[in-house]
Amino acid sequence: MTNPNPGRIRPRRLRASAAMRRLTSETDLHPRRLVLPVFVREGLTEPRPIPSMPGVVQHTLESLKGAVDGAVGAGLGGVMLFAVPEVRDATGTQATSSDGILNRAIAVATAQAAGGLVVQADLCLDEFTDHGHCGVLTPDGRVDNDATLVRYADMALAQAAAGADLVGLSGMMDGQVGVVRDALDGAGYDEVAVLAYAAKYASAFYGPFRDAVESQLQGDRRTYQLDPANRREAAREVAIDVAEGADIVMVKPAMSYLDVLADVAATSPVPVAAYAVSGEYAMLEAAAAAGWIERERAIYESVLSIRRAGADHVLTYHATELAGWLAEESR
């Protein structure tokens, strides 16, 4: 029988051996591309598991040190700190107090990391307000954009004073990047970087995070976070944040927004981050626990896909574990 394939063009040649696949692989994963989000809870004596995020805990200030050591040892690019205060109020006072739990956590993490990675802090009021919104409210209960900016400026100064290398603005208030940049520069913190959650969607995939921070939110965040239907609007938000001085822009969530991520990566003049959020983590863990997907391969593939779509770095709760696998692989 004659060969029916003329055989000149055979893409399978490049897939024929592990060595050939390794040589021609288009996308790299490296620990420096990964950032670990970490939760710290005030008033705990022991780390406390988060039921909807198996394997993730609320840390004490003491156990935070071990998490930072693990992240530095794994070669991660950074840690992103979130904190849960014991007392909440209408304006989120604990966010700007120097002995507020987040600011104390920043100081502990910065000392522990000793320059080995970038210590990043979530700059948003939702963990600190009793109503759970990302800003302060008007008397009739709407999120007051411009009054919130005043709080964000103060919060940035508190985080910078605590030693944060980078502040992550996740509140989606208009003008937040410019106001925070000016506040930092005005106080001599011109080297503190601003990461803007530029394209942050009003997503159901934040569900487990609300457990992790014991959110008291009633309702939703649709008056400030993006509509999941919108793609063009993300480009507008990125352009605004870059013009206001963002050093890094972020797309969030990641897996359901790879089109948005690819758009942003194609045009952004600054590095692009993507956040594989709590619901993405929970889905992977739940399916793996049920035996429906191969855990390690699925985690690897999901983060690789986010990189392939254009993220320079990825925030993922799997960061330290994944970095461990990558180190083994490169041996």
CB 288 within 8 A of CB 298: yes
Instruction: Name the strand (E) or helix (H) holding 58.
Output: strand 57-59
Residue 275 is assigned to a ligand binding site: no
User: Token pair for residue 164?
Assistant: 């944060």
For residue 118, the SS3 value is: strand
Residue 278 is assigned to a ligand binding site: yes
Between 136 and 277, CB nearer to ligand PBG: 277
Residues 16-45: x where in contact with ligand PBG by CB under 6 A, - otherwise, as a string: ------------------------------
Q: Name the residues annotated as catalytic.
A: 200, 252
| Nearest one of 126, 121, 141, 129 to 92, comparing CA atoms | 129
Work out how close the CB of 13 gets to ligand PBG at its nearest, in angstroms, rounded to a whole number.
41
Which residue of 124, 193, 265, 309 would you call a contact of ligand PBG, by CB under 6 A? 124
Within residues 133-192, the interface with ligand PBG by CB under 6 A covers: 134, 170
Give me the helices (H) in the chain, please.
18-24, 61-73, 101-113, 145-162, 176-186, 207-212, 232-243, 258-267, 278-289, 295-308, 319-329
Q: Does 122 bind ligand PBG (CB under 6 A)?
A: yes
CB 129 within 8 A of CB 136: yes
Q: Contact region for ligand PBG (CB under 6 A) — 11-19, 118-126, 242-250, 284-292?
A: 118-126
Please give the Cα distance from 275 to 139 (Å, whole number).
Answer: 33
Residues 181-220: x where in contact with ligand PBG by CB under 6 A, - otherwise, as a string: -------------------------x--x-----------
Q: How many CA atoms lie within 13 A of 43 on its CB side?
A: 5
Residue 237 is assigned to a ligand binding site: yes
Please give the Cα distance from 18 to 163 (Å, whole number).
Answer: 45
Residue 42 is assigned to a ligand binding site: no
Within residues 214-253, the interface with ligand PBG by CB under 6 A covers: 221
Which residue of 277, 303, 319, 322 would you call a contact of ligand PBG, by CB under 6 A? 277
Between 73 and 147, CB nearer to ligand PBG: 147
Q: Which residues bind ligand PBG (CB under 6 A)?
A: 122, 124, 126, 134, 170, 206, 209, 221, 277-278
